[in-house]
Amino acid sequence: MTIAGLYNYWIVILLMMTGFYVVIASGNLVKKIIGLNLFQASVFILYISLGKIADGHAPILQAGISNYSNPLPHVLILTAIVVGVATTSLGLALVVRIREAYDTVEEDEIHDQDESM
């Protein structure tokens, strides 16, 4: 029962750590941003998992149904997704400008160019 009850959280942690690993281990800036997005999506899944109630229904009120899943996490994540893509686009725009300035998107090559200046 414990394993079934915590399985969602453990997979979320695995996904979160995968994203975290990409962010710290990969030198490519685009891949880092994709890692951040993996991390972010795992947090979304965590929140939505917390809102689920056994035998619940989607929180759109209908006659004859009284058992709804918690709508509050849905609201938080709904806005977070759109804000997430807006901030991701800002990050990608920065990557494009870095590429134009340094002619590379590899972290250590950028660092070397800064050192040699």
Partner 1 sequence: MLIEVVNVVILALLAVTALAAVRLNDLFAVTMMFGIYSLLATIMFVVLDAIDVAFTEAAVGVGISTVLMLGTIGLVGRRARKASHRPILPLIVVIITGAALVYGTLDMPRFTDPAAPVHQHLGPYFLNESPDQIGIPNVVTSILASYRGYDTLGELAVIFTAGIGVLGLLGLRRRKRPGHEGGAR
Partner 2 sequence: MNDNPVLRIVAKIIIPMILLFALYVQFHGDYGPGGGFQAGVIFAAGFILYGLVFGTEALRSAVPPHILRIFIALGLVLYAGVGVATLLMEADFLAYNALSQDPVAGQHLGIFLVELGVGITVGAVMITVFLGFAGRNDP
Q: Which residues lie near partner 2 (CB under 8 A)?
A: 58, 60, 78-79, 81-82, 85-86, 89, 92-93, 96
Any contact of residue 58 with partner 1 (CB under 8 A)?
Answer: yes
Residue reference for tokens 């800036």 = 29
Burial status of residue 7 (CB atoms within 10 A of its CB: 0-12, 13-18, 19 or more): exposed
Q: Quick one: which of 53, 111, 112, 113 contacts partner 1 (CB under 8 A)?
A: 53
Farthest CA pair distance, the chain:
71
Q: Which is nearer to partner 2, 27 or 71 (CB)?
A: 71
Any contact of residue 2 with partner 1 (CB under 8 A)?
Answer: yes
Least spacing, CB of residue 1 vs partner 1, in Å: 7
Total Cβ atoms within 10 A of residue 29: 20
Residue 59 is given by DSSP the state S
Least spacing, CB of residue 105 vs partner 2, in Å: 14
CB 74 within 8 A of CB 57: no
Least spacing, CB of residue 114 vs partner 2, in Å: 24
